[in-house]
Structure 1
């Protein structure tokens, strides 16, 4: 699979050079390319490449900050997704002292890509002002702008710098999330759920209070709370399990739990199967946990969702699943004794150990 950083390749650099030159004839195109494509270019990761391009734009557009913004506004609609991050990054790096112009630019740039990373230094500089701005963005007619209100203010945004005020007191962003909890866009509601999932990791009690208030209010808020609860559900939090009706674990019984192999090699898959019988009608959530052997020989657990359904009294359901031990960019596998555990409505039921060789 092509690495994400490859979005900033020589074709992108050439295309952006052409577009900038059309917008500003005084653009130093040759210097721009040489600044970017230094000997270390191939070793730079995504965000490092983005920043290199941002710095090259600043060095080669002989205009003021606000004039540069107008040039970038002309060019930005040609770039979407990760490629478009360079435009909001320019604002992040060079625009903190020009609040009004920068906020307007970020509102425009986010509609082509996202400005979720670029707004965070503005939150750090003036959290109260940015929270008010985000509340205004939450009322926008554009779903990308509304999403910026929730995504940019997330307590633990992946790849994003930390905002101490929000990390310490996520209640600050609740007015933003409240205004978006029934947003017509799933894209926005998913962002609200992700923000609340961040809250569960540091302030679970606050999240549980929100969940109790929002649940059964509307189908959209139910979806948000359920999606936001995923980390707590995987941890088997009893309050959250009870909130969603995952109870009666003592009346749910695993039968014929087996794995197809006692050992396998890195890169292979393991197949496991079992039957589940219920003595009562109940909601049913099945997870399985893998205790992975790490480089130092210790084991760490990762929980995977297997099924979320319901079961009738005296009903038996059959399950089978394969799990890959192929190395990924996010996980490296090591030899040793691993363990697979079935978890039903928050209760660990049965475990099987197997070797990775």
Structure 2
């Protein structure tokens, strides 16, 4: 598989430079290409992104307003997606002394990729003033802009620094989340759910109180809440379980947890199955998950919980479950040889486990 940093390869830069050459005759295409690719092989994905912004600064007008105008003209002709983050990154690096112009630019450029990282530089510099703009973005007609209001203000956005003041005062973004808590766009709803899920790491009581006041009868709101509290449900948090009527204590018995093998190699899949039998005289709502205790490079284990199913089980009923889990290295997880553990969880409580080995 080609490394992600190859999104910024020579072919990309040739196209990138020619777009700017078409926009302004003062852009020196060949010199830019030489500068931006000189040490490219030594740079990571984000290193290439940042280097592009730095080199671009040398070839655009020194007047920020004129430079941003050229970025506006170039944006529609450049590839959308991750490489388009160069445009908001330029604004974050060089636009802090031009707040209003930079806010307008980020609102525009986020439609081509995302300005979620760039806006955080402004939040770090002037939290109150920037949040005031983002509250207005939450009412924008464009779903990319509405998502930016939520995603950019996440307390713990991956690949970025923490917003410590929002962690301390989670209500600072409450107005944004409440404006978006029934958004029609799934793109936006995912961001709102992840923003709320960030709060579970530091302010779970605040988050649960907030979502408990929302209208769960609305399908979009219900979807957001369910995804927002997923981590708490996996941990068996009583308040989170109660929001959707899941009992904290369930009366079920785990039957015949089995795997199709006791050892496997990297790239293999583990098939497992089990039954759950009701021991209650009442219908019960169950959240059934499973956890893998992965062996780390040190030999210790780390636990990862996976969602399986939500079911209703009747008195005396037995429900069968089966699942296939593949063991293959990912960018976010590397596997190591050793004794692993599979656990079955019902409403956050461990009901049984079984071991297996990666060799």
Structure 1 length normalisation: TM-score? 0.96
Conserved? CA contact 1:288–1:306, under 8 Å: yes
Q: 1:248 to 1:23 in 2, by over 3 A?
A: closer
Match of 2:338 in 1: 336
Q: Deviations over 1:13-58 (max 9, x none)?
A: 011100101111111222211221123x223222111111111110
Moved more, 42-51 or 122-131: 42-51
Conserved? CA contact 1:249–1:344, under 8 Å: no
Conserved? CA contact 1:338–1:355, under 8 Å: yes
How many residue pairs were aligned? Answer: 356
Cα separation, 2, equivalents of 1:152 and 1:65: 23
Cα separation, 2, equivalents of 1:282 and 1:42: 57
Alignment of 1:134-283 (within 5 A): 134-216=134-216, 218-247=218-247, 249-279=249-279, 280-283=282-285
Structure 2 length normalisation: TM-score? 0.95
Match of 1:286 in 2: 288
Cα separation, 2, equivalents of 1:165 and 1:248: 33
Q: Does 1:297 align with 2:296?
A: no
Q: Deviations over 1:246-270 (max 9, x none)?
A: 2275421111111111112222221
Match of 1:347 in 2: 349
Q: 1:29 to 1:278 in 2, by over 3 A?
A: same
- Matched residue SS, 2:261: coil
Conserved? CA contact 2:238–2:248, under 8 Å: no
Conserved? CA contact 1:286–1:344, under 8 Å: yes
Match of 1:58 in 2: 57
Conserved? CA contact 2:241–2:248, under 8 Å: no
Cα separation, 2, equivalents of 1:346 and 1:120: 35
Q: Deviations over 1:290-348 (max 9, x none)?
A: 11111111111111111122222222221111111211111111111111110011211
What root-mean-square deviation, in Å, do the aligned CA atoms of Structure 1 and Structure 2 show? 1.5
Conserved? CA contact 2:242–2:248, under 8 Å: no
Cα separation, 1, equivalents of 2:284 and 2:7: 48
Cα separation, 1, equivalents of 2:171 and 2:61: 43
Cα separation, 2, equivalents of 1:262 and 1:162: 42
Cα separation, 1, equivalents of 2:272 and 2:249: 21
Conserved? CA contact 1:155–1:195, under 8 Å: yes
Conserved? CA contact 2:167–2:203, under 8 Å: no
- Matched residue SS, 1:313: coil
Moved more, 146-155 or 214-223: 214-223
CA apart distance, 1:220: 2.0
Alignment of 1:296-315 (within 5 A): 296-315=298-317
**Structure 1 gap ranges (5+):** none
